[in-house]
Amino acid sequence: MNALHGFAGFALRRTLGAVVTLLAISVIVYVVFYAAPGDVAQITCGPRCSPAQVHQVAEQLRLDDPLYVRYLHFLQGVVVGHDYSTGTSVEHCSAPCLGMSYQSDQQVTQLILAKLPVTGSLALGAMVLWLLFGVGTGVLAAWRRGRLDERILTGITLAGWATPVFVVGLLLMVVICGQLQLLPFPQYVPFTEDPEQWAWNLLLPWLSLALIEAAKYARLTRSAMLETLAEDHVRTFRAYGVGERAIVGRHALRGAVGPLIALNANDLGSLFGGAVLTESLFGLPGIGRELVHAVNVVDLPVVVGMVVLTGFFVVLANAVADVLYAVADRRTVLS
């Protein structure tokens, strides 16, 4: 009875903590970007705005108000939404409203939502692959520890760990799409349109992302399992005649689950905020590429909105991971 109460309390505390963290992120991001030196209205509106447009933006951003009022206004938009006057008409931006892009005349939220399927497809597909490769390699490495094949395997994962994703992606693309012409140069096809083409086109981005990430997972799995294998309870099961296969597969792997959940949550969270490099490299129209575009044309509301959103995904993923972790390992709740 106490455990349930303790668990509910834990989940509540964790949620509150996540909300506080998120608020703090939004404050930092908002202040950093809107208190920066320079003419905010001009920067926000973009280089091609007329003085009249700049003036209108300044009004909408309430530049005459103190910074904290402006921040609260931004926050109000996130919670209840805003109405924007575009001169002639009034556009409603419903909650969670992260502002308007003055350069594309679009609401940031909608802009992001439109790109989410691309980024989501990329992240989730890659996750499946990296978990398969990474955890598989890690288990194998822990199982065959010290032997030649394990050392070669560990060497390969180290190389994967070391390489920046765009280097791998570049080489894969050049070799597979360019030289061998085994796959088309990736072009995003929505899943709803043609699942086969969707997967076919995403295969290369998935692979490049997964190859890099898998190395991390393999190392983590291996070291967590070896750490468990050195613990006393493993000695107990050895002393009771439990075979090596069961010890590695059941007891050692179980010890790696917690750290794996934590790492995976963090990776997935930040990828949802935009797999910036992979998307840019393969020209996938996802959140990450949108961000690079927004950065290049200095579209501030989009930039701020995306950073806050990425923070949201990371915080959300970590909170979910913590709860999962607590379910998997109830000791954390009690401590």
Partner 1 sequence: MSEARAAAEGARAGTGTVLAPASGARQFWRRLRVQRAALVAAIVVALLVLLALTAPLLTAVEGQDPTTYHPELVDSARGGVPVGTFGGMSADHWLGVEPQTGRDLFARLVYGARVSLGVALAATVVEVAVGLVMGVAAGLGNRWVDQALSRFTDVVVALPLMVMSLALLAIVPSDFPRPVLVASVIGLIGWGSVAKIVRAQTLTLKQLDHVAAARLSGWGPWRIARRELLPALAAPVITYAALLFPVNISAEAALSFLGAGVKPPTPSWGQMLTSANVWYQAAPQYLLLPAGLLFVTVLALTVLGDGVRRALDPRAASRLSVGTGRRKETRA
Partner 2 sequence: MSTAESLVQVTGLSVAFGPVRAVDALSFRLERGAALALVGESGSGKSTVASALLGLHRGTGAVVDGTVRVAGVDVGSASDAELRRLRGGTAAMVFQDPLSSLDPYYAVGDQIAEVYRVHHRASRRAARARAVQVLDRVGIPDAVRRSRSRPHEFSGGMRQRALIAMALACEPELLVADEPTTALDVTVQAQILDLLHTLRQETGMGLLLVTHDVGVAAGSVDDILVMRNGVEVEHGPVATVLGSPARTYTRRLLKSVPRVDVPRPAHPADAEHEPASAGVALEAVGLRRVFGRGARAFAAVDDVSLQVRRGEALGIVGESGSGKTTLGRMLVGLLAPSAGQVRREGVAVNGVRPDVQMVFQDPVSSLNPRRSVGESVADPLRARGERDPAVRTRVAELLERVGLEPAHHGRYPHEFSGGQRQRIGIARALAADPRVLVCDEPVSALDVTTQAQVVELLDELRRELGLALVFIAHDLAVVRRVSDRLAVMRRGRVVEYGQANEVYESPREAYTRHLLAAVPALDPDLAAVRRAERMEQRSLG
DSSP 269-329: HHHHT--HHHHHHHT--SHHHHHHHHHHTT-HHHHHHHHHHHHHHHHHHHHHHHHHHHHH-
Query: Whole-number minimum distance, CB 257 to partner 2, in Å?
Result: 8
Binding to partner 2 by CB under 8 A, coded x per residue (else -) over 194-233, reads: -------------------------------------xxx
Q: Contact between 145 and partner 2 (CB under 8 A)?
A: no
- Report how far residue 123's alpha carbon sits from residue 117's, in angstroms, rounded to the nearest whole number: 10
Binding to partner 2 by CB under 8 A, coded x per residue (else -) over 301-330, reads: ---------------------------xxx
C-beta closer to partner 1: residue 110 or 270: 270
- Report how far residue 157's alpha carbon sits from residue 136's, in angstroms, rounded to the nearest whole number: 12
Which spans of this chain sit near partner 1 (rule: CB under 8 A)? 20-21, 24-25, 28-29, 32-33, 36-38, 43, 145-147, 150-151, 158-159, 161-167, 170-171, 173-174, 178, 223, 226-227, 229-230, 270, 273-274, 276-277, 280, 288, 291-292, 295-296, 298, 300, 303-304, 306-307, 310-311, 314-315, 318
C-beta closer to partner 2: residue 200 or 237: 237
3-state SS class at 65: coil
Out of 36, 230, 235, 327, point to the residue binding partner 2 (CB under 8 A). 235
**Sign, CA torsion 320/321/325/331:** negative
C-beta closer to partner 2: residue 142 or 287: 142
- 266 close to 277: Cβ distance less than 8 angstroms: no
C-beta closer to partner 2: residue 82 or 251: 251
- Report how far residue 229's alpha carbon sits from residue 227's, in angstroms, rounded to the nearest whole number: 5
* ∠ Cα 121 265 17 (to 5°): 125
What are 84's strand-pairing partners? 91
- 215 close to 157: Cβ distance less than 8 angstroms: yes
Q: Which of 251, 259, 260 is nearest to 229 (CA)?
A: 251
Out of 63, 242, 323, 324, point to the residue binding partner 2 (CB under 8 A). 242
Q: Which does 254 bind (CB under 5 to 8 A by kind): partner 1, partner 2, none?
A: partner 2
Interface residues toward partner 2, by CB under 8 A: 231-233, 235-243, 246, 250-251, 254-255, 328-331, 334
